Chains A and B, each alone.
Chain A
Amino acid sequence: MISDSSHREPVVSAPVRSARSLTAAAAVAAMFVVVPLASVVWRAPLGDAWSILSGSASRDALVVSAQTSVIAAILSCVLGVPLAWWLARTTARGASVVRTLCIAPMVLPPVVGGIALLAAFGRRGVLGAPLEEWFGVTIPFTRAAVVMAQVFVAMPFLVLSVEAAFRQAGSDLEEAARTLGAGPVRVFWQVAVPSAGAGIAAGAVLAWARSLGEFGATITFAGSLQGRTQTLPMVVYESAALDYRQSLVLSLLLIVVSVTVLALLRDRWIGGFSR
């Protein structure tokens, strides 16, 4: 778990007499995950990686993915941090219902998220129809739709991580700030947010990584138009049958990014920020 820092302080305990069947099961589980990842590294045509990455589909998707995932991570913070604070501090009835609904996208099939976004913001959608009628704004199958799909799927990761950080920080400092004359907005920005800084940073990185990998909701709500809405995972999927080598190289890129993010969260940010 990312919040667990116990790996920093090795505890010497009596050697457990190994149950060999358990060790074997653990080995099988680890191999089940590691072997496919390693196979991508093994099979990827590293010599041609550069020419593949600079091909037009890859290059366009890299730009779209880089841009949309960063914007989605920022939007997730802007919207998700206040939600996390409210969830951490409220005593309102029904808060747990709100929490459950808001983090549902974590367990929902992403394609269902895409359908939900279409139902709300599609051209015939609950909000989409009036948007188009009154303002001439159409959202589906645009770059904005890519970002919305990513925020829908990624923000819950940030909300959970940041809510935990607010809870851990407690409300003592916020109370102290209030006795010094700080209103709710100042308390939030100048006391609550800084005291949950590590959790917010971790949540933002998680949300970014999840946005970068988003596929199901995005392809349903935004389609896969090269140079407009086609992201890296879509190119990986579509080239799996047409150009397997390209698929492998882009997959390797996404694996490297994901593993790097996990390593950073574990070793640097969580450990480095903890007080």
Chain B
Amino acid sequence: MKRPSRLAAPLVTLLLLNLCLLTSVALAETVFVQSKTAKLRSGKTSLDSVVADLKFGESLEVLGKEGNWLEVQTARGAKGWIFAGKTTPTKPAGGEDDVLAKLGKSFRRTEAEDVTASAGARGLDKVSEGYANRVGITQQHRDAIDRMAAYRISDQEVEDFLKQGRLGEYAQ
């Protein structure tokens, strides 16, 4: 009987290694951050320390999954856990003011500058104020829109609200 070649064992090993590599490539999954505020944590609970603050739309390579948490690696190489509800399998479309809209603004800029300069923290600018004058909107309603636009709640207050309600990553 012919003896197997001395090369057979290394070849089989190489083949198996390639198979493993192909399988891991096939399993590699990318998700994207789908939240304005998202934290990469050292463990899979909200009590674990924060490794990095993640940006909306940032891509993450999935390394593993446990319950509602994903173990991920960022493009910069940081590894940690993120609450799965803050990710999406498809790249979010929004996040920044549309490029075409910015282009339009540039073309209209010259005449628009003196109009937008007055906008500030108020809801009404010269144009909408002019509209209010034309259609006879009362001062009470104008003030209501101004107050609405000026109402401030920080991202931290929202985070505390989520924590208090045990929502999302704060669920127990």
Whether chain B is bound by chain A comes out as no
Interface residues of A (CB under 8 A from B): none
Interface residues of B (CB under 8 A from A): none
